[in-house]
Amino acid sequence: MSTQASGTIAVFGGTGKQGGSVVDALLSRGAQVRALVRDPGSDRARALAGRGVELARVEIGDAASLSAGLEDVDAFFFMTTPEGHTLADIDGETRQGIALVDAAVTATVPHVVFSSVGGAERDSGVPHFESKRRVEEHLQRSGLRATIVRPVAFMDNFAFMGPNVEIGEIVLRWPLPDHIPLQLVAVRDIGQISASLLLGTAQAPGGTIEIAGDSRTGGEIAAAFGEHLGLPARYEGLPLQVLADNPDSQAMFRWFAETPAYQADLEAVRTIEPSTWDLPTWLRTTGWAPNH
């Protein structure tokens, strides 16, 4: 590691949603970004390169490629993903995170920001939360200066889990009872907050922060969509059995119903990012429209 600041921030997952939002926020603030990618020839990686992002080719199973990708950076953002959500994928998520932490140790990265998930530290029992908790613990034991951001449910999920319009009415059906509030965050804000932490313009007290921009029951979520489209809206809570073929998601929705599940302090989040989006802002800014 050089002892002088290089001005470069490394990002893992820059071709995806969270990492992509971190890249967007860093570039908008004039930072130099190096994206650690598995395929520099992919359309998304090439699009990053076209915006001035340096690409470093990495393989999770190749420790030398990971530490080389982290040489001489000032800070490093990473997220982990189980991709297919099978139990084997979920174990793989922990291995992915541990490999990235170990590489940051080898490269003596001055500050590492890990995006985990809200509630990872609260014994949720949700398999793809527990996999992230194991990464958090490895990071916290690593000796690195670390900040853990814990995002709640993404508003961006509504791009594929959103309501339908049925005979002129918005109808949202989720496996969650209607009276339960669920905290929500725009992926854009994961990027904004992580960029502030990476660039040192904000700190998370105690080294962790759960992040959300809104909190709504199913009925209140449906109402926001209704107001957005100028239509009446209705929410229907579905039984958890609709997720019987996906035990990981079923465990998560069961945990959501054990209120309070996510516990972000929205005011504390706004001290880092005052313009954090609520759901109406996300709907308006993304121009959400129904698929059918």
Ligand X SMILES: NC(=O)c1ccc[n+]([C@@H]2O[C@H](COP(=O)([O-])OP(=O)(O)OC[C@H]3O[C@@H](n4cnc5c(N)ncnc54)[C@H](OP(=O)(O)O)[C@@H]3O)[C@@H](O)[C@H]2O)c1
Residues that bind ligand X (CB under 6 A): 13, 15-19, 38-39, 42, 44, 60, 79-82, 117, 128, 151, 153-154, 157
* Min CB(83)–ligand X separation in Å: 6
C-beta nearest to ligand X: residue: 16
* Min CB(3)–ligand X separation in Å: 29
* Min CB(141)–ligand X separation in Å: 21
* Min CB(115)–ligand X separation in Å: 7
CA distance 229 to 263: 30
Q: Closer to ligand X at the Cβ: 128 or 228?
A: 128
Q: Closer to ligand X at the Cβ: 2 or 42?
A: 42
Q: Closer to ligand X at the Cβ: 8 or 81?
A: 81
Q: Closer to ligand X at the Cβ: 65 or 108?
A: 65
Strands 8-12 and 54-57: unpaired
Q: Closer to ligand X at the Cβ: 38 or 145?
A: 38
* Min CB(168)–ligand X separation in Å: 29
Q: Closer to ligand X at the Cβ: 82 or 181?
A: 82
* Min CB(85)–ligand X separation in Å: 9
